[in-house]
Amino acid sequence: MWSLADRELGSRLLLGSAQYPSPAIMEQSIAASGAEVVTVALRRQQPETGAGRDFWQRLKSLGLHLLPNTAGCHTAKSAITTALMARELFDTHWIKLEVIGDDYNLQPDPFALLEAARELVGQGFEVFPYCTDDLVLAERLVQAGCRILMPWAAPIGTGRGLVNPYGLRCLRARLPDITLIVDAGIGTPSHATRALEMGYDAVLLNTAVAQAEDPVMMARAFRAAVEAGYLARQAGPVPRRELAVASTPVVGKPFWHES
């Protein structure tokens, strides 16, 4: 078990709810993943009419922790408004804060992100900011009151994996008491394993499962990968060395002379 904000969880895999071939496959994939937290985007168009309500109710019926997000927002103001609507709709103070600054690589806008984070923390939200691996931005978000950060591995949906392991390691080393979740760019189970081996607390992914040829099987693979990465970190991997070291000792090995 581990603590995520005010909840105790067993799984270190968080899963998105978009892009699946069908709602049934989404449900099967979530179950196969073992994830206990699922993200959901708030459709801001005419929420008072109940648009998307059937989908949201379907997610709620799974008995999971929902993490609404502000996907699609490009300004701090729109992200704050969306977060307030999500809190009322989903009855949760959790919010995954996304403020996109570039439409090409969907990189977060660091200035608007920080502005929105400060405001939402002040209004009682548990803010999960989607950010880059920039250490200075991460420190500012922590100073703003964020206890959880979600740096990307790579741009959303690219599946490129951990493109800047140095930056991610720096975040982990410099922010040892902050919950860090790798979010975006994870493409294969091995990428998730690597993140957990680095000491990250969890990974959040969507495309890698939802758009796989067999989403349910891929979800099962990620479940095993996350567990393997966490256990490896706890076990303590051997240090890297420049020179070979024999795994079989030579002390006491018999030898002889040819006559």
Binding residues for 1-deoxy-D-xylulose 5-phosphate: 157, 184-185, 206-207
Catalytic residue among 60, 77, 96, 253, which?
96
- 116 and 100 in contact (C-beta within 8 Å)? no
Q: Please measure the distance between the N-terminal and C-terminal CA atoms of the chain and give it in whole angstroms.
A: 65
Torsion of CA 209, 126, 152, 72, to 10 degrees: 70
| 3-class secondary structure, 204 | strand
- 216 and 236 in contact (C-beta within 8 Å)? no
Binding-site residues from annotation: 157, 184-185, 206-207
Amino acid sitting at position 195: A
Round to whole Å and give the CA distance between 199 and 7: 20
Say whether 253 is catalytic: no
Q: How many CB atoms lie within 10 A of CB 37?
A: 23
List alpha helices for the chain, DSSP H: 23-33, 53-60, 76-90, 110-122, 135-143, 165-174, 189-197, 207-210, 215-235
What is residue 21's DSSP assignment? Answer: S
DSSP string, 86-108: HHHHHT-SEEEE--B--TTT--B
Round to whole Å and give the CA distance between 51 and 45: 8
- 53 and 59 in contact (C-beta within 8 Å)? no
- By annotation, the residues acting in catalysis are 96
